[in-house]
Amino acid sequence: MTSMVANGTRGDQSLVLKGVDPETCMIVFKNHWAQVVKILEKHDPLRSIVGGLGGGHGLGGGGGLGSFRFGPVPGDEASAVQNYVEHMLFLLMEEECGQNGAMGPILEFVVMENVLERLFIWSLRREFTDDMKLEQLKMYEMLIGQARQPLLHHKPVLKPLMMLLSSCSGSPSGSSSSAVETELVLLLNQLCCVLAKDPSVLELFFHTSEDQGAANFLIFSLLIPFIHREGSVGQQARDALLLIMALSAENHVVAKHIAENTYFCPVLATGLSGLYSSLPTKLDVPSEEWHCLHREDWQQLPALVQFLNSLEFCNAVIQLTLEEVMTTTAYLDLFIRSISEPALLHTFLSFILLHRHDNVHILDTLVSRINTPFQLGTVSLALFRTLIGLFCEDVMLQLVFKYLIPCNHMMLSQRRVLRERDCYSVSAAKFLALTPSCCSPEVIPPPLRKLDSILWSKGTDGSHIGTMESKEVLSEEDDCGNSCVIGSEIYLDVSYLHYLYDAQNSISHCMRACRVWSAPYDGENPPPEEYQRNTLEEAGRTRPPVTSRKTPNQMHHSGPPLKDLTATPGLLELEWDDSYDACPTQLHPEEDQETRPIPDEPPKHIQELRRTAIMIVKGSYIEESEFQNDVMVYNLVAQKDAHDSGNSYHTSSKSLEAAKQEMLDESVTDQKTTNSESSISNGLSSPLDEMDSKKRGSQSNHKSLEGEDLVAQYEELIRTLGAQHSPAKTDSELKSPTDLMDEEEDEIDFNSFSPETPEAEKLPSPFGTKPRSGSRGHAVPFTGPFLSVLLSRLENMPSNSLHVNLLLTGILAQLAAYPQPLLRSFLLNTNMVFQPSVRSLYQVLASVKNQIEQCSANNKDFPELLTAAQHCLLARESSLRDSQSPQKGDWFHSSEADRIKTKPNIQPKTVVPLNKTEVYAAVLFTEFLKELAAFAQEHSILSHLPTEQ
């Protein structure tokens, strides 16, 4: 039997059909169908009436199909049906749409007669072999791919298709032949393309599935097993899934389904890890010069190609679903926790840290979400706890240190005391002194306050001051052995010992982990001034020349800095956004941005967040003043975004900006521009950028720039620059541009502006905004959005849910373990003097203490509630402890459970409802103070031990 369907060729036929009038086609079609029906009915056990609607067939589902069989179908009849069907399909495919998009007559007939469903049942009635599946799959593939009118809108087309897909999913994927799999994925891919073009079909797919008994997005589920498949099958599956993910950005049902009902996330993450581990451990090194994997290298390695494909795919998934924020955040958290391979983490982290979506760094978006209320904020917090627990320098740099390195958050005089140790536990004492009076150890009865006696002994001399006297005493005591030791027994809160022990573990673990870091972050290395200078250059370099923004793909380009791009050309091919090229259709909204002028307003999601924030403020649960910080953070992020939107700048700041921009543009667009000319513009642009960023930072006055200020700032800047380079060159204003170039050429890759450089390298550096926000901090002292948001949430401790507070204090305790003086001094040194605009952890804690004291004063029952809440928390802790024995490597999480420690098996007598947040917060706060004090104390020892020993 020569089947044209199977061969997929139809060229001649379509030529023949041209010019044939629709009526004739219709007649032929009906004719064929009548022949087919004859055969079908002959073998139909139910003998349904010719022309009856297909709904009457009452298909019972895959399992019971065997019972329909009514003896074997003779081969000649089968092939006759086959032939008729092929002709019918051609006629259907070639039919044009009717008037105003109505169905063509043949399609109408197909729908009315339920042709396709009956044909599917026919194929089931015969042996439903792989060949049969193939035949059906190919039939739909051809129909969907080549029909000239939309078919999937019609249930009588869609339903048998779904049944076919179901029957393919019913069989364990291993048993189907690879030919069926190939065809299945091809069809699925095609369906996804249709869905992407016409999302309205999506609804139908869901509804049709519901008819099948389960709300099951079949296409998606069927594709998942192929995610990590090698070869073109895998590629098609991934492309198809990407299309769906793109849809999920807009369709809530799809997103929810993916997150809740499929194994997509685990499959993605674990599959990736699996692929990674199957990478060849040894590479054939072609020559001695070989130093990195180029495209031609890795293309030789199927395992690697496969891994990279999956990686690209994961990335694309994350990008596309960014709108579904909570789901995505949960994805991310899961991914990062699942990944154990550093190289894979590298990929994920660099994506989070450097990549932008809608011109906002993903990291910024994630940080801003910490402050969103309810679930999203909590999920974001959990993600950050995971991130911080990685002890990854790059993460900590972007989240925290970048803002602390310039040391602008502290008074100038404090820089030298940054590394000082707290010899006498002064900070610990100050933290503990914040213990609310209602929570003081004396007030709390046992067993909550577990007292134990510890022998504190001391040397003899304390009681003997006079030299002569002590001489005699000493010699006496020496004679009688150990009596020179006197001691005292002091009752104390044993839990504090636990905290000290935890802090010691936590800090030493962190110190060990940070040994691989590039710098100590101690206020000298990296040098604060140096960092600011880099920032300027960064800003100068990252002004995106308008002319170079050509494709959305490039706009989104991110990756290692320019130097790295040149050093690893192989990687260029693997940049995240290339994955878009693999998508048959591109759905990302950035395309629009190219054409429409970018508004001065912050991106939509930031506006959204701000709106939520304000709504909540206006609502009830937080006072406006207390939310100020958060709103400020939103504003900062939003402002930055507006600025970073590239080619649109505030008209107010246009004067300098525009001039500079023109110079840069010229250097790019004018092919004749020499390097030295472009370097002039760069050399000059640095101070201008600096002023610009200052101006930007000071928010209030960024609409006007006083001439005096400008000159003063310019001079100051030149002075600092000059001072850094060489003390001799005091009058650096007179330096020639070439000097400037010489000094800075190490930092700036001028090639990036030359016409020879590949387009990709001229793109705005993904780091552009970050350092600039750092230099904004130069004007307005700012410890960065992350620390600010954490502290502002902490300040609301009394109204936060228990879980949020556990996460918050957990994150802060984890941060407090970091030994780097910049962070340690900010969090734990209560003696540091910060700039007035910078809130310290201590200040925030003091504010919380006051709130708790007020709660306590206003509520007579507070002490009892407090005791009851402690019992509840103890019960919670002991149940946690029972259910999950501390696992290896899970020390951090166990520390959360450790927060409240005493005897196990305490049953709460009265359960304090969780909405009494202030009561739980008071208990947690008191424990948190102990935890912080313990960290401060342990740091005074551990962080100062000589590293060698």
Partner 1 sequence: VKPCWILCAFLFSLSRSDGEEQVGQGEQKSSPARPSFGKKQLPSIPKNAVPITKAASPAPSTQSANGTHASYGPFYLEYSLLAEFTLVIKQKLPGIYVQPSYRSALMWFGVIFIRHGLYQDGVFKFTVYIPDNYPDGDCPRVVFDTPVFHPLVDPVSGAGVRRAFTKWRRNHNHIWQVLMYARTVFYKINTMDPLNPEAAVLYDKDIQLFKSKVVDSVKLCNSHLFDQPKIDDPYAISFSPWNPAVHEEAKEKMFAHKRRPEDYNKGLPVSGLSWVKPGSTQPFSKEDNPLQT
Of 247-255, 460-468, 635-643, 780-788, the window that binds partner 1 (rule: CB under 8 A) is 460-468
Q: Pairing mode, if any, of strands 356-357 and 360-361?
A: antiparallel
**CA–CA distance, 256 with 248 (Å, rounded to integer):** 8
| Subset of residues 356 to 415 that bind partner 1, contact rule: CB under 8 A | 390-395, 397-398, 402, 405
Residue labelled with tokens 């009635």: 125
Rounded CA separation 106/22 (Å): 9
- The nearest distance, CB 945 to partner 1, in angstroms, is 5
Work out how close the CB of 937 gets to partner 1 at its nearest, in angstroms, rounded to a whole number.
Answer: 5
Is 253 in contact with 201 (CB distance < 8 Å)?
A: no
Residue 139 contacts residue 7 (beta carbons within 8 Å): no
Dihedral sign from CA coordinates of 328, 331, 333, 336: negative
Among 174, 213, 481, 727, binds partner 1 (CB under 8 A): 481
Length of the chain: 949
Residue type present at position 349: L
- Between 433 and 711, CB nearer to partner 1: 433
Quick one: which of 200, 437, 628, 730 contacts partner 1 (CB under 8 A)? 437
By CB under 8 A, which span of 318-326, 468-476, 614-622, 701-709 interacts with partner 1?
Answer: 468-476
Would you count residue 441 as binding partner 1 (CB under 8 A)? yes
**Of the two residues 495 and 667, which places its CB atom closer to partner 1 in the complex?**
495
Contact between 353 and partner 1 by CB under 8 A: the answer reads yes
Q: Which of residues 157-196 bind partner 1 (CB under 8 A)?
A: none
Annotate each residue in 296-335 with x if it binds partner 1 (CB under 8 A) or - if it does not, as one string. --x-----x-------------------------------
Residues 747-786 that bind partner 1 (CB under 8 A): 767, 771
Shortest Å distance, C-beta 513 to partner 1: 3
Among 229, 498, 695, 778, binds partner 1 (CB under 8 A): 498
Taking the mean position of all CA atoms in its chain, how far away is CA 467?
68
| Segment interacting with partner 1, rule: CB under 8 A, options 158-166, 195-203, 349-357, 753-761 | 349-357
Residue count, binding to partner 1 (CB under 8 A): 116
Query: Least Å distance between CB 918 and partner 1?
Result: 19
One residue of 97, 429, 710, 846 binding partner 1 per CB under 8 A: 429
Smallest distance, partner 1 to C-beta of residue 377, A: 25
Find tokens 């780091």 and name the residue: 767
Contacts of 681 (CB under 8 A, 6+ apart): 660, 663, 664, 666, 667
Binds partner 1 (CB under 8 A): choice among 386, 799, 801, 894: 894
570 near 298, Cβ under 8 Å? yes
Q: Which stretch binds partner 1 (CB under 8 A): 14-22, 449-457, 617-625, 661-669?
A: 449-457
Q: How far is the CB of 575 from partner 1 (least distance, A)?
A: 13
Binding residue for partner 1 (CB under 8 A) from 358, 689, 898, 931?
Answer: 898
Q: Does 906 bind partner 1 (CB under 8 A)?
A: no
Beta bridge partners of 452: 492
Q: Residue 136, exposed/middle/buried by CB under 10 A (0-12, 13-18, 19+)?
A: buried
CB 835 within 8 A of CB 409: yes
Nearer to partner 1, 455 or 734 (CB): 455
Among 475, 620, 883, 907, binds partner 1 (CB under 8 A): 475
Are 788 and 633 a contacting pair, CB within 8 Å?
Answer: yes
**For partner 1, which is the closer residue by CB, 80 or 303?**
303
The nearer residue to partner 1, 11 or 459, going by C-beta atoms, is: 459
Pick from 219, 514, 680, 848 the residue near partner 1 by CB under 8 A. Answer: 514
In this structure, what token pair is assigned to residue 102? 């109505």
User: Smallest distance from the beta carbon of 371 to partner 1, in angstroms?
Assistant: 23
572 touches partner 1 by CB under 8 A = no
| Residue 878 DSSP SS3 | helix
Question: Which SS3 state, helix, strand or coil, does residue 584 take?
Answer: coil
The contact pattern for partner 1, residues 279-298, with x = CB under 8 A and - = no contact, is -------------xx----x
Task: Give the pair of three-digit tokens for residue 168.
Answer: 């393919």
Task: Examine residue 712 and tell whether it contacts partner 1 (CB under 8 A).
Answer: no
Q: How far apart are the first and last CA of the chain?
A: 83
- Phi/psi class of residue 607: alpha, beta or left (left: φ > 0; alpha: ψ in -120 to 50)? alpha
Q: Which of 58, 462, 707, 727 binds partner 1 (CB under 8 A)?
A: 462
Q: Select from 426, 598, 614, 906 the one that contacts partner 1 (CB under 8 A).
A: 426
Among 154, 129, 233, CA closest to 188? 233
Residue 863 lies near partner 1 (rule: CB under 8 A): no
Q: Give the shortest CB-705-to-partner 1 separation in angstroms.
A: 28
Going by DSSP bridges, is the β-strand pair 451-458/360-361 parallel, antiparallel, or unpaired?
unpaired
* Minimum CB–partner distance for residue 391 and partner 1 (Å): 4
Q: Which of 120, 217, 531, 580 binds partner 1 (CB under 8 A)?
A: 531
Residue 419 one-letter amino acid: R
Restricted to residues 908-937, the positions that interact with partner 1 (CB under 8 A) are 933, 937
Shortest CB 276 distance to partner 1, Å? 10
Instruction: Report 3-32 residues binding partner 1 (CB under 8 A).
Output: none
In order, the DSSP letters of 841-856 are HHHHHHHHHHHHHHHH
For residue 496, the Cα-to-chain-centroid distance in whole angstroms is 36
What are 574-577's contacts with CB under 8 Å, separation 24+? 574/308, 574/311, 574/312, 575/760, 576/312, 576/315, 576/316, 576/319, 576/351, 576/355, 577/553
Tokens encoding 236: 């098609």
Angle of CA points 584, 586, 589, to nearest 5°: 175
Instruction: In angstroms, give the least distance from the CB of 581 to partner 1.
Output: 21
Tell whether residue 949 is a contact of partner 1 (CB under 8 A). yes
Of 514-522, 592-600, 695-703, 707-715, the segment contacting partner 1 by CB under 8 A is 514-522
Closer CB to partner 1, 39 or 349, in the complex: 349
Beta-carbon contacts of residue 461 (< 8 Å; ≥ 6 apart):
470
Give the DSSP letter of residue 493: E
Task: Return d(Cα 669, Cα 248) in angstroms, integer.
Answer: 40
* 169, 222 contact by CB (below 8 A): yes
Q: Could you identify the residue written with the tokens 């890759």?
A: 749
DSSP states along 254-285 = HHHHHHHH-SHHHHHHHHHHHHHHTS-SS---
Asked if 705 and 695 count as a contact pair (C-beta separation under 8 A), the reply is yes
Supply the DSSP symbol for 410.
Answer: B
Chain centroid, CA 131 distance in Å = 44
| Binder among 80, 253, 411, 484 for partner 1 (CB under 8 A) | 484
Among 517, 754, 876, 908, binds partner 1 (CB under 8 A): 517
CB 472, min distance to partner 1, A: 8
Member of 303, 334, 474, 614 binding partner 1 (CB under 8 A): 474
Segment near partner 1 (CB under 8 A), from 80-88, 485-493, 846-854, 858-866?
485-493
Residue among 254 and 432 whose Cβ is closer to partner 1: 432
Token pair in block for residue 293: 């994997």
Q: Does 654 bind partner 1 (CB under 8 A)?
A: no
Question: Minimum distance between the CB of residue 182 and partner 1, rounded to whole angstroms?
Answer: 30
Does residue number 573 form part of the binding site for partner 1 (CB under 8 A)? no
- Name which of residues 541 to 560 contact partner 1 (CB under 8 A): 560
Q: Are the C-beta atoms of residues 34 and 84 closer than 8 Å to each other?
A: no
Residues 204-243, one symbol each (x = binds partner 1 by CB under 8 A, - = not), give ----------------------------------------
